Amino acid sequence: MHLTPEEHALLAGERGPATQKAMQILATLGRIYGAECMIPVSSVQIAGVSYDNLGEAGLAWLAEMASGGGRAQVFTTLNPAGMDVEDYADLGISEAFAENQRRVLDAFETMGVVTTCSCTPYLFGNLPHFGEHIAWSESSAVCYANAVLGARTNREGGPSALAAALTGRTPAYGYHLDANRRPNVHVQVNARLHDTPDFGALGKSIGDQLQSCGLNRVPYISGIEQASQENLKSFCASIATFGGIALFHMPGITPEAGLHAPPAEQITISQHTLDTAKSSLTNATPDEIDFLSLGCPHLTLREIQHIAHALAGKQVTREFWITTSRPVKGMADRMGYTEIIEAAGAKFATDTCCVVAPIKGRFKALATDSAKACYYAAAKNGFKTRLLSFDDVIAESTR
């Protein structure tokens, strides 16, 4: 792999041990994946922020990188942490966990990383434009950036994303290259899609089928007439979770679709397939639900506005988390939505979510509109699940 004199200097440790380690990670990755060179990135998003996932070993590595002089060279934001940084006690998070989570965030802050913790960084300023090279790691955001925004990123791990932040570079392979962005399977959707669980079920249907068809599939998805930002973030989260997909094209909706013709290999998603995927994500009865959550991926302001209107003057009867980013919550505060939602007894879980927070064993069954949240609620926390429409989750919360 060709490295510039500056990159050789970083490898030699001229900018300190943390940057040297970062460059070693990137050079190793570049060699493994056959990259010819490094390319500059304009933004980074780092996953692996919750202390629940990192543990002491992960925290020690971050602290070493911070004390070794590592400093972000480009705009860098974080994925959700294990708690609401301000109101963790209200969510039942212990002081001991909070202390460890703060140590994680302190290490990132020392490195100049913006410690806003969210999987929807594109809603508050970490918004790459078409063709821009970036290094993001949250799978739903990677898919959204590649497919919906037309930016270019591989699905980075936490360490490689941090390495990209500290050097401002990433190896030029995978989805950074035109050749790997071409669609290689045509998905014809013959089903009606209305809301976020429909799009989540579509992501599961396609993801399940493509997972058995080999690696690095880039589906060209026909038959979708329209999709809102909320639909697309739900779809991206789901197709990344169930199929490991990091890029797709949707004619009339995503910006690169027009550059390509539909591939010859075709699969079809019928209404029956979609309905089956949807029902497979529900195994809890209504009476078993003791936890509700909206905001996987993190909510837009429009969604929070909708929740506020629906909950005005009502009282929730069970634990109900509204998960979003701190900047979007700030706008909800200003618009009075927070006051209405909290008066109804629902709780904002800002900076975190129902998957990365340490809540294993606390609840029996989760109701949500998110296919991704259903998957992880079962796989990580052992909860039963109920996939409902956005409005039905709100209605269920006051039943």
| Contact footprint for ligand F3S (CB under 6 A) | 79-80, 119, 140, 237, 296-298, 323, 353, 355-356, 372-373, 376
In the complex, what is the shortest distance from the CB of residue 160 to ligand F3S, in angstroms, rounded to a whole number?
A: 18
In the complex, what is the shortest distance from the CB of residue 370 to ligand F3S, in angstroms, rounded to a whole number?
A: 6
In the complex, what is the shortest distance from the CB of residue 141 to ligand F3S, in angstroms, rounded to a whole number?
A: 8
Question: Distance between alpha carbon 352 and the CA centroid of its chain, in Å?
Answer: 11
Neighbours of 213 (CB within 10 A): 13
Is the Cβ of residue 7 or residue 230 nearer to ligand F3S in the bound state?
Answer: 230
Is the Cβ of residue 262 or residue 327 nearer to ligand F3S in the bound state?
Answer: 327
Is the Cβ of residue 220 or residue 291 nearer to ligand F3S in the bound state?
Answer: 291
Is the Cβ of residue 168 or residue 197 nearer to ligand F3S in the bound state?
Answer: 197
Is the Cβ of residue 169 or residue 298 nearer to ligand F3S in the bound state?
Answer: 298
Report whether 79 contacts 109 (CB < 8 A): no
**Three-point CA angle 372, 374, 378, nearest 5°:** 120
Is the Cβ of residue 35 or residue 227 nearer to ligand F3S in the bound state?
Answer: 227
In the complex, what is the shortest distance from the CB of residue 369 to ligand F3S, in angstroms, rounded to a whole number?
A: 11
Q: Taking Cα atoms as reference points, which of 1, 284, 259, 230 lies closest to residue 130?
A: 259
Q: Taking Cα atoms as reference points, which of 71, 86, 77, 141 lies closest to residue 114?
A: 77
First to last CA, the chain: 61
Report d(CA 253, CA 221) in Å as an integer.
10
Alpha carbon distances (Å) from 280 to 94, 375, 378, 384: 34, 10, 12, 11
In the complex, what is the shortest distance from the CB of residue 203 to ligand F3S, in angstroms, rounded to a whole number?
A: 12
Report d(CA 93, CA 5) in Å as an integer.
48
Report whether 75 contacts 42 (CB < 8 A): yes
Is the Cβ of residue 43 or residue 167 nearer to ligand F3S in the bound state?
Answer: 43
Task: Report how many helices (DSSP H) and strands (DSSP E) the chain contains, helices first.
Answer: 14, 14
Is the Cβ of residue 174 or residue 297 nearer to ligand F3S in the bound state?
Answer: 297
Report d(CA 28, CA 101) in Å as an integer.
30
Report d(CA 236, CA 109) in Å as an integer.
29
In the complex, what is the shortest distance from the CB of residue 138 to ligand F3S, in angstroms, rounded to a whole number?
A: 6
Report d(CA 399, CA 396) in Å as an integer.
5
Is the Cβ of residue 51 or residue 220 nearer to ligand F3S in the bound state?
Answer: 51
Q: Taking Cα atoms as reference points, which of 175, 106, 197, 186 lies closest to residue 387?
A: 197
In the complex, what is the shortest distance from the CB of residue 36 to ligand F3S, in angstroms, rounded to a whole number?
A: 33
In the complex, what is the shortest distance from the CB of residue 372 to ligand F3S, in angstroms, rounded to a whole number?
A: 5
C-alpha dihedral (157, 128, 23, 156), degrees to nearest 10: 10
In the complex, what is the shortest distance from the CB of residue 147 to ligand F3S, in angstroms, rounded to a whole number?
A: 15
